[in-house]
Amino acid sequence: MFKAAAAYYTKEFASDRTTTATQNHHCTAANDSDNTTPGEQKFTYDYYVTPGFKAIGFNLADPHYYSYSFESNNQPNNGPNSSQLYTFRAVGDLDNDQVTSTFELAAGSDANNELFHGTGFYIDNETE
């Protein structure tokens, strides 16, 4: 998800179809989630049916165990040195005991206004 969001962040968007349109750049996509309940069985999901995942171009072709989501500030024209622009999340329940594991990765912008991610994942209940 991070790589897809980083590519989206560098794109420029026009506010409308006219020659006088305002240019927006360094945008973040709207919050999104696949709204699935993870379990012990792999599943497929078409991430392009939801606007945030479709905007950043995120999709998984193979069946997977985790439910994916992200939160963002959902703003155009973000400036440099923004500490918290995105939180990317994967939630799983591989043993199907209704206790989930969570993996999160935070992202912000650096002094050059390029998206970067934290040095590691926040992990809660890793073995679930």
Using one digit for the tens of pLDDT, what is the confidence trace for 67-122?
999 999 988 888 899 889 999 999 999 999 999 999 999 999 999 999 999 999 99
Q: Say if residue 128's pLDDT is above 90.
A: no
Q: Rg (Cα) of the chain, in Å, rounded?
A: 16
Bridge partner residues of 33 (DSSP) = 69
Q: pLDDT tens digits for 32-79? A: 999 999 999 999 999 999 999 999 999 999 999 999 999 999 888 888
Calpha distance 24→17 (Å, rounded): 13
> Domain range spanning residue 106?
2-124
**In this structure, what DSSP letter does residue 33 have?**
E
- Of the CA atoms within 13 Å of residue 67, those in its CB half-sphere come to 16
111's CB contacts (< 8 A; 6+ apart) are 80, 81
**pTM, entire model:** 0.91
Number of domains in the chain: 1
